[in-house]
Structure 1
Amino acid sequence: MTPDAVITVSVVAGVFLLLAMARWPADFVFLGGLAVLLVTGVLGPGEALAGFSSPGVITVGTLYVVVAGIQETGALFWIGHHVLGRPSSERGGQLRLMAPVMGLSAFLNNTPVVALFIPVVRQWCRSLDFRPAKFMLPLSYASIFGGVCTLIGTSTNLVVSGLMQDRLGRGMGVFEITALGLPCALAGVIYLATVGRRMIPDREGTDRLFGDTREYTLEMEVAGGSALAGKTIEDAGLRHLPGGYLVEIVRGDHLIQAPPPDTELRERDRLVFAGSVESIRDLRARRGLQAAPDQVFKLDGEDRERRLVEVVVSDHCPLLGRSIRAGRFRDRYNAAVIAVARRGERIPGRIGDIVLRPGDTLLVEAHAGFAPRQRDSRDFYLVSEVEDSRPVRFSRAPAAGLIFAGMVAAAAFGWLSMLQAAMLAAALMLLTGCCSPGRARTNIEWSVLLVIASALAMGRALDQTGAAGWIAEGLLAAAGNHPWLALAGVYVATSLFTELITNNAAAALIFPVAVTMAGNLGVSPLPFVMCVAVAASASFATPVGYQTNLMVYGPGGYRFTDYFRVGFALNVLFGVISVGLAPVIWSF
């Protein structure tokens, strides 16, 4: 090998080692490796920064904005609450969960889909008395199953498509990988519903081990024209509330305490709930329910910029000993008290009539400036913003759905490239108000983009210095110049890399090796490329190889070994199917 090739291989090996030590963030490690290649002259400035202008990287970043628009309009929230239903068994629940997650992940990035479903599944499990551990791994794995079925299902496929465009002069069609990904996905579902189901641990999640002991009192109103009007409490889905319950209904001057499940709701009914902050956030996002009019309608500013904030009343607060209404809390702080918790006990009466005491925890709806402004105030001991608590803009959901469907159709039928379709969809999400500029910026996973761009540059270094050819020759020697064995070697190498580092980085690093091997054998590179795409996404045996696996680690109460016990067979299953089918679909 040349000196530059030695440096490149050493840098890549060093990156693997540092990531395995798990002491530094992945984006820092990859940027550090890229800096070494730049400083040593292995890559010039243009070559080192080329990954940041890659169509694949830009497409991934743009899709984060599109997904933010779908999330902000409540489309995914509706699916999560209305599709899962009330299955009678864990197996039925797992199938009910995996089907919509696979379908969504085929067209949306896996990460936001799993982020949406984690709290939904957690609450759903509590209401059905299921263990979250039985569902969190299937949630993550199902998102991976769906992601390998289309070009836009996972950022890995977009990265591979961009590399194909640069190296082979053509990208990947939206549904080109479906012929390989769908059989893998179906086999994965069957495995989890049968053999794998028995291997999933039956363990408490962190939400039960460290549950929220605060019980808030919340007052909501059935909106005029709401679809909930005329339904019973049972039919409206307000009976089995995860972490909360309906305490009473105020109907004009009539009070219905502990209402039975067959009580019919009417427009303008005031519903008093008690529950945890997560149940309160859930109720605030339900279509057909709105905050009591005297609570938030007079707040200054736009509704879309509101969010929920938890504050603890200090003994210096000027409103102590006065009711929330008499103390004019809303006028004083430009924030509306939504719910109140007091040492784990339920506070009777309406929100406005509650007399404040030191130590009371208030859940308030306020604007972005409230939390920074009040953190230094003597009125409150603690100020903490609740994540993902902005009001859902249900009125924009049809527009967001049409924009997303149009993006998929334009890319699928070849009217626009995937990058063009994504950028047009992102612009329309912003122009139509489906997504605010602030939410668009915060929804982009910048660390993921940095890892992808840096890994692309390292892949370029492997290719240009001849290191990829040297690695390919080693794999070919082990495979005996047999295309099937060589393909299996590429799949195994990619699978090992993606478990040790990240999926996008593994694809970017192995891609030039795979194409070089195909060239040396004189066969089509397409089977190799498609196997790299599937293998890079099929990370099931460790929690660190794929971001969604790490996301469910805590909520499921898992241990590191749980992933290997359940996921190793999935890795082998995907490998056998991919290596067996890829040369049949795209002949050597």
Structure 2
Amino acid sequence: MPIEAWFTAALILGMLVVLSLSRAAPDLVFVGGVVLLLLTGIISPAQAFSGFANQGVITVGALYVVVAGLRETGGIQWIGHRLLGRPRSLRRAQLRLTAPVAFISAFLNNTPVVGMLIPAVADWARKLRFPVSRLMMPLSFAAILGGTITVIGTSTNLVVNGLLIERTGAGLNLFDVAWVGVPVTLAGLALMLLGNRWLFPDRRPAIGEIDDPREYTLEMLVDPKGPLVGRSIEEAGLRNLPGGFLMEIDRDGTLLPAVSPQERLRGGDRLIFVGVVDSMVDLQKMRGLTPATHQVFKLDGHRADRALLEVVVSDTCPIVGETVRDGRFRNRYNAVVIAVARNGERLRGKIGEIRLRPGDTLLVEAGPAFLAQNRNRRDFFLISQIDGSATPRHERGLLALGILAAMVASATAGLLSMLEAALAAAALMVVTRCVTLETARSSIDWPVLFTIAAAFGVGAAMETTGLAQTLAHALTGLAGPHPWAQLAMIYLATAVFTALITNNAAAVLMFPIAFAVAGDLGASPLPFAIAIMFAASASFATPFGYQTNLMVYGPGGYHFTDYLRAGIPMNLATAAVALTLIPLVWSW
């Protein structure tokens, strides 16, 4: 091998070591590697930055905006409620998540499926008090498995099928690969469900273990025209709140303490909750509940343009000793008190009747100017804005879901490419005000995009220097003349390259090698092409082997080694099933 190939191999090995043994950001490691390859002249500037023009990378970026539109309108909550439900155990939760995701991914590109569900799963896990790290990786793995069932399930299947048509003049039908794809998917799902305790880590944040959290008292009204009227407490999702509970109901002046989960809600019920700030924020976003204080509707602008802030009252605040109402908090600060926390004390009575004391922590709803106007005033010890606390634009929820459905339908029917459909959907989300332009910009996860894009530069170096071809020929040369052994080596080589240089690049690289091996053996190239499809699609062992793995890396709080721990058993299980069935379905 030339010196450039040795340098590339050493660089890739070094990147893997850094990612495995440290908490270095993946985008920093990959971009740094691409810069070194560019400075040494191994790759050209066009190759180094080709990933930034890749359709898949741009599609992922557009999908972040689409997801932001769903989140800002409450569409994510609707999807989570309808699809995921309220399972009582982690294993049932994984089944409720992975089975439908695998089915959907057989017919839709799995990137938008995962991108759409990441925030819904994060919210769902928090409400059910399950570690999100035990759900994010199964989400990605299920989407990958489902993509192996049909020819259109993944872009890799389409690429290999296109190469088959180019070489042989005949391709595969939609469900031809299902003879292997369905057993592979079932085996992968079974392994995840049976081994979830050992495969997936529990990465609970330390902040979730605080023994004595700050608790607020919050009042909400049941909207007489909303969807919660007539539902029980349990059906409405108000029973198992994360870090909070329904203390009592005030119904026409009659208090109902120790509320039963089967109690039916009525329009106008005043619900008194106690809980941590995250739980209070969730209640503000729930469709069918409105703040008990109508002061929020007297503030300027739409509620979706405001935010929630935590404010600690100082001893020099001019309204200390007065009630919230008598102190005219809204008129004085152009903000409304939503809830109050006082050193663990359970506060009773209406919010407006609470007499403020120094040290009280107030949860207030205010416009974007509140923080700048009051951060230096002596009225408050501390002001902290709560991220992601804006009230959803529920009136645009159906519109956002309609845009999502149109995106999926147009891409599935072939009217638009996935890139075109995602860009059009993102633009519609902004134009229809389902999401503001500022929120759309901030919703894009740039580190993920930079990592995916930089991976293309590293893959280009492996191909340009001949490193990839050398390794592939060395692996297949070890197998000897037996077709099954060669099939296994083709599968192994494709899986290794997929883990290093992404799935599509690995498939394109291995296809001519596999075709040549089939010719030397006098065998049909079809089993080898199918093996490449499965090896390149079913990639679980690294976060950058498949872009859905990378998309859940941050939200799941994973380490690089977590993918090795869960992914290697998944790779082995799916490979065993695929290599057993492929020769039985497609003869040599």
* TM-score where L is the length of structure 2: 0.82
The aligned runs of 1:392-411 (5 Å cut-off) are 392-411=392-411
Alignment-derived partner of residue 95 in structure 1? 95
Pick from 536, 551, 561 the counterpart of residue 533 of structure 1.
536
SS in structure 1 of the partner of residue 364 of structure 2: strand
Superposed CA deviations along residues 348-388 of structure 1, whole A, max 9, x for unmatched, are 11111222222222222223343455444433333333232
Q: 1:331 to 1:222 in 2, by over 3 A?
A: same
- 1:330-354 CA-to-partner distances (Å, cap 9, x unmatched) read 2333322211111122111111122
Q: Once the 2 structures are TM-superposed, how far is the Cα of residue 467 of structure 1 from its aligned partner?
A: 2.1
Aligned to 2:510: 514
Amino acid aligned to 1:279 = S
Once residues 585 and 308 of structure 1 are traced to their aligned partners in structure 2, the CA distance between those partners, rounded to angstroms, is 59
Cross-structure match for 2:114: 110
The residue aligned with 2:574 is: 574
TM superposition shift of 1:296: 1.1
SS of residue matched to 1:108: helix
- In structure 2, do the counterparts of structure 1 residues 12 and 511 end up closer, same or farther at CA, with 3 Å as the change threshold? farther
Tell me, yes or no, if the aligned pair for 2:492 and 2:535 is still in contact at 8 Å.
Answer: no
Matched, 1:423 2:423: yes
Residue 456 of structure 1 and its aligned partner are, at CA, apart by 0.8
Deviation at 1:261, TM superposition (A): 4.9
Change (3 A) 1:466 1:333: same
- After superposition, where does 1:214-363 map in structure 2 within 5 Å? 214-261=214-261, 263-363=263-363
1:230 Cα offset (Å): 3.5
Deviations 1:519-564 (A, max 9, x none): 5425467435423432334659x9x97553664458xxxx999877
Cα deviation code 1:86-140 (max 9, x no counterpart): 5566654543344455567747353562443234223224xxxxxx35x852553
Partner amino acid, structure 2, of 1:517: I
SS of 2:460 mapped into structure 1: helix
Counterpart amino acid of residue 35 in structure 1: V
Aligned counterparts of 1:107 and 1:545: Cα–Cα separation in 2 = 10
Query: Aligned letter for 1:454?
Result: A
Select which of 141, 158, 165 maps to 2:138.
Answer: 141
Amino acid at match of 1:514: M
Distance 1:92 1:21 in 2: 33
Alignment of 1:113-124 (within 5 A): 113-124=117-128
Is contact 2:430–2:436 with CA below 8 Å preserved after alignment?
A: yes
* Equivalent runs, 1:448-527 vs 2, <5 Å: 448-480=448-480, 484-489=484-489, 491-492=491-492, 505-507=501-503, 510-511=506-507, 513-515=509-511, 517-521=513-517, 522=519, 523=525, 526-527=529-530
Q: For residues 48 and 160 of structure 2, what CA distance do their matches in structure 1 show?
A: 15
Q: Which residue of 1 aligns with 2:522?
A: none
**How far apart in 2 are the matches of 1:273 and 1:484?**
64
Which of 269-278 and 514-523 deviates more? 514-523
Q: CA deviation at 1:305?
A: 2.0
SS in 2 for 1:479: coil
Contact 2:248/2:259 (8 A) holds in 1: yes
* 1:442-499 deviation line (CA, Å, top 9, x unaligned): 221111111111111221222222222112222222333666545544554565677x
User: Please, which runs of 5 or more residues in structure 1 have no aligned partner?
Assistant: 126-131
Deviates more, 1:85-94 or 1:212-221: 85-94
Count of aligned pairs: 569
Q: Would the aligned equivalents of 1:495 and 1:539 in 2 still touch at CA under 8 Å? A: no
> Given the superposition, is the C-alpha separation of residues 473 and 99 from structure 1 closer, same or farther in structure 2, using an over 3 Å criterion?
closer
CA 222–240 in structure 1, closer or farther in 2 if over 3 Å, else same: same
Q: Secondary structure at the match of 2:384?
A: strand
Equivalent residue of 1:218, what SS?
strand
1:55 Cα offset (Å): 1.4
Structure-1 separation of matches of 2:200 and 2:456:
37
Question: Aligned to 2:450, what secondary structure does the other structure show?
Answer: helix
Summarize the Cα distance change of 1:416–1:495 in structure 2 as closer, same or farther, 3 Å threshold.
Answer: same
d(CA) in 1 for partners of 2:196, 2:31: 39
Greater Cα offset, 526-535 or 466-475: 526-535
Q: Which residue in 2 is equivalent to 1:19?
A: 19
Question: What residue is the counterpart of 1:128 in the other structure?
Answer: none
Question: 1:217: how far off?
Answer: 0.6
Letter paired with 1:228: L
The verdict on how the C-alpha distance between 1:551 and 1:416 changes in structure 2, with shifts beyond 3 A counting, is closer
Instruction: Report the Cα distance in structure 2 between the residues aligned to 1:172 and 1:68, rounded to whole angstroms.
Output: 37
RMSD: 4.1
Residues 407/40 of structure 1: CA separation in 2 closer, same or farther (3 Å cut): same
Cα 1:413–1:322 shift into 2, 3 Å: same
Q: Determine if contact 2:144/2:538 at 8 Å carries over to the other structure.
A: no
Partner of 2:378: 378
Query: AA paired with 2:383?
Result: V
Give the corresponding residue for 1:433: 433
Q: Distance in 1 between matches of 2:231 and 2:343?
A: 34
Report the AA paired with residue 518 of structure 1.
Answer: A
Task: Structure 2: state its 5+ residue gaps.
Answer: 520-524
Distance of 1:370 and 1:172 partners within structure 2? 61
Q: CA deviation at 1:216?
A: 0.7
- Secondary structure class of the residue paired with 1:284: helix
8 Å CA contact 1:200, 1:566 repeated in 2: yes
Task: Find the aligned partners of 1:245 and 1:416 in 2 and give their Cα distance.
Answer: 47
For 2:41 and 2:48, how far apart are their aligned partners in 1?
10
Given that residues 459 and 511 in structure 1 are in contact (C-alpha distance below 8 angstroms), is that contact kept between their aligned partners in structure 2? Answer: no
Q: Do the aligned partners of residues 123 and 368 (structure 1) sit closer, same or farther apart at CA in structure 2, a change above 3 Å counting? A: same
